[in-house]
């Protein structure tokens, strides 16, 4: 049903069937289940060249980028040919050099007596007159329009009711650059772009295996977005692959504009604040996850790819953990776990200590805290809420404002407002310190979507601490662990390998042991768990 290979990525549609075939909509590739609802006419092409061109102009309404180039081929009797393409989404150099120039060269087939027929001219163009790498013959109107809107060039021969689709996809696109998120000091600097073929190529450069493959489908009745499901045959579990394919094929919507659309359609628990699907713009991260038996979902038009199944430890691992020495990687990972705890519980602990549990503080510290809060008119809960909301607004303003002033506004705004609030006696200096440390800890979390989860849950723990003190925090923590324990990502426990407990897989959870110790893959995602033979430890 699906085809593999980066060189055939755009050939996921079945070539039109021969003249006279049934055209009830099932002639399309079965993976493209949503395309049958397109509001475009179905049926065979016309035999008259001008009739096909006029119909295309009618369907592609108000498109000044639609180019129609007519030719006359010398075949004994002149054959009229037209090339049709959208110049904004095609590679004009490919069109000019490998389509136009080829058709304008001397056309010298073995001309039978009386001249070549339209069928013979059509066949000669397909077999001999085109220098492009990918050519398809189409006779289905819906498929032909999709090819045109994808960026391919269509060739029509007067008197024949089929057309030729030439792969000339192009247009402006962003070059491969350094990742804007998940930045590393040591490691690859390339990242995904908005081009699906480019993203596939970046992964192929890292996995040079004949077992690497992908299945490509189109999702979206209007956008017809190309979506690729990547895996390594023989490593990935077959049931996981079938489940991912099933969920993707079930999506029936008019538009897919970013991988976040796909994420919400296929996630296991839509009501959980925790992300159960990992996203990244780094090809090396995708390659590493594929080698562990996971599946990557790459969407055309976005630099962020999805990884399933997902477990909680993935969000605390950075790509750089595996490029630095294992002891450095372990230290940095433990630091991220500590930052997550501070980001989640920092203000809540301060509220509980100053409101309910002052006896837990040393006398000197308690006296200093009481002196700092003297004159503050609000309880600690209201004080913390005001500061946290102010900081969240400043952070959001810094992101949305123009890049030249956004960072300055967020930093200066925080300093000025914090100092003004302390001078006015609205908040205490210690509260400014707590909120600042909490914000810095939140920035230290490797995964941005998990950092947002911590920001949301922080307010709930602040309320619990303001009502019950440490009892409220502990109760909320128990409920949080129970919730995470109930989460699944494509059948895999979100807390794996802690729940269920798997001692052998703890080598890459809180610590990162040396690479030579990773002799097995996680059995949650792969039946082929042997990664390397034992005995790879360096001899001293």
Structure tokens at 259: 């991988």
First to last CA, the chain: 53
For 355-362, which contacts have Cβ atoms below 8 Å and span 24 or more sequence positions? Answer: 355/379, 355/380, 355/381, 355/465, 355/466, 355/469, 356/468, 356/469, 356/470, 357/469, 357/470
Global confidence as pTM: 0.83
Contact yes or no for 232/290 (Cβ under 8 A): yes
Structure tokens at 304: 């962020």
Could you tell me how far CA 233 lies from the centroid of its own chain? Answer: 21
Q: What is the pLDDT of residues 253-266, one digit of tens each?
A: 999 999 999 999 99
Contact yes or no for 494/274 (Cβ under 8 A): yes
The C-alpha R_g of the chain, in whole angstroms, comes to 30
What is the DSSP secondary structure assignment for residue 342, as one 8-state letter? H
Could you give the angle at the alpha carbon of 260 between the alpha carbons of 258 and 262, nearest 5°? 90
Q: What is the pLDDT of residues 270-285, one digit of tens each?
A: 999 999 999 999 999 9
Contact yes or no for 425/376 (Cβ under 8 A): yes
Q: What is the pLDDT of residues 412-453, one digit of tens each?
A: 676 677 777 777 778 888 888 898 899 999 999 989 999 999
pLDDT band, very low/low/confident/very high, at 405 (cuts 50, 70, 90): low
- The CA distance from 440 to 131, in Å, is 57
Nearest-CA neighbor of 492 among 251, 338, 289? 289
- What angle do the packed helices 429-443 and 363-372 form, to 10 degrees? 100
Nearest-CA neighbor of 496 among 294, 303, 361? 294
485 or 62: which carries more pLDDT confidence?
Answer: 485
- The CA distance from 398 to 401, in Å, is 6
Q: Where are the beta strands (DSSP E) in 220-349?
A: 225-232, 278-280, 295-299, 305-308
Question: Edge-to-edge strands of the sheet including 135-138?
Answer: 66-73, 79-86, 153-157, 163-166, 135-138
CA atoms within 13 A on the CB side of 15: 13
State the pLDDT at residue 399: 77
Helix locations, 110-172, DSSP H: 118-128, 141-150
78 or 474: which carries more pLDDT confidence?
Answer: 474
Q: Does residue 2 surpass a pLDDT of 80?
A: no
List the single range of 98-102, 288-292, 324-328, 481-485 with lowest mean pLDDT.
98-102
Give strand pairing partners of 135: 166
pLDDT band, very low/low/confident/very high, at 110 (cuts 50, 70, 90): low
Q: What is the largest CA-CA distance in the chain?
A: 111
Q: Does residue 173 surpass a pLDDT of 70?
A: yes
- The CA distance from 469 to 476, in Å, is 11
Q: Region 105-112: what's the mean pLDDT?
A: 56
Q: Region 221-243: what's the mean pLDDT?
A: 94
Burial-class residue 238 by CB neighbours within 10 Å (0-12, 13-18, 19+). exposed
pLDDT band, very low/low/confident/very high, at 106 (cuts 50, 70, 90): low
pLDDT averaged over the chain?
84
């Amino acid at each position: 049903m699906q085809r593999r290979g980066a060189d055939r990525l755009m050939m996921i549609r079945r070539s039109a069937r021969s003249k006279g075939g049934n055209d009830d909509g099932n002639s399309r590739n079965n993976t493209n289940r949503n395309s049958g609802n397109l509001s475009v006419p179905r049926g065979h092409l016309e035999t008259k060249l001008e009739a096909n061109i006029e119909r295309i102009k009618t369907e592609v309404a108000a498109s000044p980028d639609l180019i129609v180039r007519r030719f006359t081929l010398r075949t004994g009797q002149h054959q009229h040919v037209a090339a049709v393409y959208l110049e904004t989404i095609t590679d004009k150099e490919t069109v000019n050099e490998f389509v136009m120039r080829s058709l304008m060269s001397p056309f010298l087939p073995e001309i039978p007596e009386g001249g070549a027929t339209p069928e013979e001219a059509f066949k000669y163009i397909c077999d001999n007159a085109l220098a492009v790498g990918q050519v398809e013959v189409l006779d289905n109107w819906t498929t032909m329009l999709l090819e045109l809107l994808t960026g391919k060039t269509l060739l029509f021969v007067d008197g024949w009711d089929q057309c030729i689709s030439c792969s000339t996809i192009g247009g402006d696109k962003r070059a491969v650059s350094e990742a804007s998120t998940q930045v590393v000091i040591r490691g690859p600097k390339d990242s995904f772009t908005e081009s699906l073929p480019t993203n596939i190529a970046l992964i192929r450069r890292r996995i040079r295996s004949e077992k690497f493959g992908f299945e490509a489908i189109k999702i979206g009745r209007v956008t017809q977005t190309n979506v690729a499901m990547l895996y390594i045959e023989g490593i990935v579990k077959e049931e996981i692959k079938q489940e991912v394919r099933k969920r993707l094929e079930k999506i029936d919507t008019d538009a897919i504009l970013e991988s976040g659309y796909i994420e919400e359609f296929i996630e296991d628990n839509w009501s959980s604040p925790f992300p159960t699907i990992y996203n990244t713009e780094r090809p090396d991260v995708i390659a590493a996850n594929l080698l562990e038996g996971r599946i990557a979902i790459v969407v055309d038009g976005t630099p962020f790819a999805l990884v399933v199944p997902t477990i909680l430890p993935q969000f605390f691992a950075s790509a750089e953990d595996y490029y630095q020495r294992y002891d450095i990687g372990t230290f940095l990972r433990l630091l991220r776990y500590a930052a997550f705890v501070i980001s989640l519980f920092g203000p809540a602990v301060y509220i509980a200590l100053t409101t309910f549990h002052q006896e837990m503080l040393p006398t000197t510290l308690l006296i200093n805290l009481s002196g700092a809060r003297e004159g503050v008119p609000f309880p600690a809960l209201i004080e913390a809420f005001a500061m946290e909301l102010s900081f969240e607004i400043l952070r959001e303003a810094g992101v949305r404002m123009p890049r030249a002033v956004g960072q300055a506004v967020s930093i200066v705004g925080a300093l000025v407002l914090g100092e003004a609030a302390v001078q006015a006696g609205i908040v205490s200096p210690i509260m400014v310190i707590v909120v600042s440390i909490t914000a810095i800890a939140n920035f230290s979390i490797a995964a941005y979507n998990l950092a947002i989860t911590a920001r949301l849950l922080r307010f709930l723990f602040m309320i619990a601490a303001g009502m019950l003190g440490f009892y409220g925090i502990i109760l909320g923590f128990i409920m949080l662990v129970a919730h995470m324990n109930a989460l699944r990502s494509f059948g895999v426990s979100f807390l794996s390998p802690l729940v269920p407990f798997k001692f052998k897989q703890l080598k890459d959870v809180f610590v990162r042991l040396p690479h030579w110790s990773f002799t097995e893959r996680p059995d949650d995602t792969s039946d082929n768990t042997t990664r390397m033979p034992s005995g790879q430890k360096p001899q001293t």
